[in-house]
Chains A and B, each alone.
Chain A
Amino acid sequence: MNHCVPDFHEMNDDDSIPTPSSFSRPKKTTTGEEEIMELLWQNGQVVVQSQNQRPPNRSASSGEVVIPSDREIRSSAEEQQHLFIQEDEMASWLQYPLDDSSFDRDFYADLLYSTPPPPPLTTATAQPRAAAEIRPPPIPAPVARPDNPPRVQNFVHFSRLPIRQRTARESSTVVESNETPAAAPESRVSHTVTDSGPPVNADSATVRTGGTSAAAGTCDYTVASSPGSSPTSFSGDTHQPQHKPAAAAEDRKRKVREVDDNECQSEDIEFEAAEGKKQGCGSASTKRSRAAEVHNLSERRRRDRINEKMRALQELIPRCNKSDKASMLDEAIEYLKSLQLQVQMMSMGCGMVPMMYPVGVQQYMPAAMGLGMGMMDMGMSRPMVPYPPMMAGSAMPNPAATVAHMGPRFPIRPFHMRPVPVPDPSALQPTNHADQVSNSTAIPQNQPRFQNFPDPYQQYLGFHPTQLPIPLNQVVVQHDANKPSTSKDIGNPHNQQTGIKTMLLLRHFTLYTE
């Protein structure tokens, strides 16, 4: 890089080069000296000026000019560049702008912000020093000339960005973003070449990345992150080639993502080639370790997500005092089933009640008492009142009450409905609520057995919980169809009646859950 300086210095004389003034891109390269030399892109020519020197001419509308000038510059740059900069260095440098007109345009737009452009673009060559005195300034707020006139366009690309550290990840991305117009302003700023000592060499990767991120949206992101990271990165790794390769690898990955939008892919290829050499050194291990880190991080994040959801679920389940995941999930499953059942029952009840009006109450009572309870003696026309209280006790709307008790508890309550219409609801926990589901199928079978109320319970015991989803309506229908002879008391199958019965039956089972 140092050798380039002379060229640049010489170039200072070339101020004479036509400078439309509207568009000059100061490019900062950090030479060994603390001074910041800028490569000013004036009308397509590269002019090196120390930071202090500012081209006098600054057109007001640099932005506009920039765009058209981009093309000019590009073309002219080619011609001129070789004049000012050593060929090898320039070559890579040149290629970048030439490759992509659109890119340049974007790039220039960024330059408008006039902060020294973030580097790394073009140095495809592995010789960072080369013309690149242009150190891709780390992202940190550019100490250099924040007040750079917008006119001055800094050439970001010459990336030998020193930002190649681990932390440089961000910076590298930033570097990449430098290329992208979106990030430009900030990147520019960051690029003020800090005095970091040795110029960044090999960060061809960084350079590459810079180039690639054309208008990637990531640029913005990277830019944002870079300010934070760049300072460290710069200070840290100016001289760490190993980091660079590693960073390069990362950058490469990043770049790959961004490349899609990038128009400067050609440059990337160059960089990659350059990086390849560097990669050899120790990037493999770092890559692996990094991949492992990433994997661990993602794994941890996933676990955290799951734990958080488990906690939320635990809060939803009433009276869940389990700390163990598995048991908690078990309870959740049971609670969910009971809730589903409850909702079904209630919705059925809501639907039933209005329908009951047209039907004579008398019909309902026996019907309700009959099938609904299943257990009750069909022959008896017990008043329904006693029954419901029994069920009411179960507090269906309060599934929480006994959720904890739900499960494979199959205490079959003897249904002493007839003599004592109100056996404790708690006692009525005949079977798993799941069994209720089957009532549709069970009922027909049980009809003949209604007389012994305990039996129907047993019938339900075996039923498959999968039947739960069966809509109650279906159940009702089945009832009608299947119970021609149900309770003798019930002469005509009424949908409502059967529906009610079913409902009561279900309700009964629900009690269990309570």
Chain B
Amino acid sequence: MSSRRQQSRQSGASRITDDQIADLVSKLQQLIPEIRSRRSNKSSASKVLQETCNYIRNLHQEVDDLSHRLSGLLQSTDADSAQATIIRSLLM
């Protein structure tokens, strides 16, 4: 990053952000299944960010759902069973 910053000195702050953003956006792009399935080189930063936000929200939702399920399962198992421990670990 320092190199980027030095670079940017002449071009201003924009250079840094552009490079960084491009790099990170590409990383994000790899992580997000939706975008990854499409042509990888097509999305803009704003689109990737939007998809990231959506994806994170979805994951949050999933985590909540899974937590509920696991807690339900936990209640149905023996307190000391292996399953229980596993579930507990997961839920923690």
> Which residues of A approach B to under 8 Å, CB–CB?
302, 305-306, 309-310, 312-313, 316-317, 325-326, 329-330, 332-333, 335-337, 339-340, 342-343, 345-347, 349-350, 352-354, 356-357, 361, 364-365, 368, 384-385, 387-389, 391-398, 425, 500, 503-504, 507
Contacts and interface: CB of A to CB of B under 8 A. Distances in A.
Q: How large is the interface on B (under 10, 10 to 19, 20 to 34, 35 or more residues)?
A: 35 or more
Contacts of B1: 326
Given A316-B56, A340-B31, A353 B77 contact: yes
Contact of A329 (B24, B59, B80, B87): B24
Given A309-B46, A397-B67, A333 B85 contact: no
Closest 10 CB pairs of A and B: A388-B85, A329-B24, A392-B92, A309-B49, A326-B20, A346-B66, A391-B89, A364-B82, A339-B59, A388-B89
A364 B83 CA distance: 9
A257 to B, nearest CB: 24
Contacts, number: 151
A396 B90 contact: yes
B53 A343 contact: no
Contacts of A357: 83
Contacts of A500: 82, 86
Contacts of A337: 31
Contact of B66 (A347, A352, A384, A394): A347
B25 A395 contact: no
B36 to A, nearest CB: 9
Question: Quick one: which of B25, B31, B83 has the most chain A CB within 10 A?
Answer: B83
Contacts of A329: 20-21, 24-25, 27-28
B60 A356 contact: no
14 contacts: A309-B46, A312-B49, A329-B28, A330-B24, A332-B56, A333-B31, A343-B62, A352-B86, A361-B81, A361-B82, A387-B85, A388-B89, A392-B88, A504-B89
Given A313-B53, A343-B59, A350 B46 contact: no
Contact of A353 (B25, B28, B83): B83
B90 A339 contact: no
B56 A336 contact: yes
A353 B66 CA distance: 12
B70 interface: yes
A330 B91 CA distance: 26
B66 to A, nearest CB: 4
Interface in B8-24: 16-17, 20-21, 24
A144 to B, nearest CB: 47
A354 B73 contact: yes
Nearest to A348: B90
Question: Quick one: which of B44, B55, B86 has the most chain A CB within 10 A?
Answer: B86
B7 interface: no
B29 to A, nearest CB: 10
Nearest to B36: A469
Contacts of A388: 85-86, 88-89
Nearest to A394: B92
Contact of B17 (A305, A326, A353): A326
Question: Quick one: which of A330, A333, A339, A353 has the most chain B CB within 10 A?
Answer: A353
A356 B82 contact: yes
Given A336-B31, A339-B59, A339-B60, A385 B85 contact: yes
A326 B49 contact: no
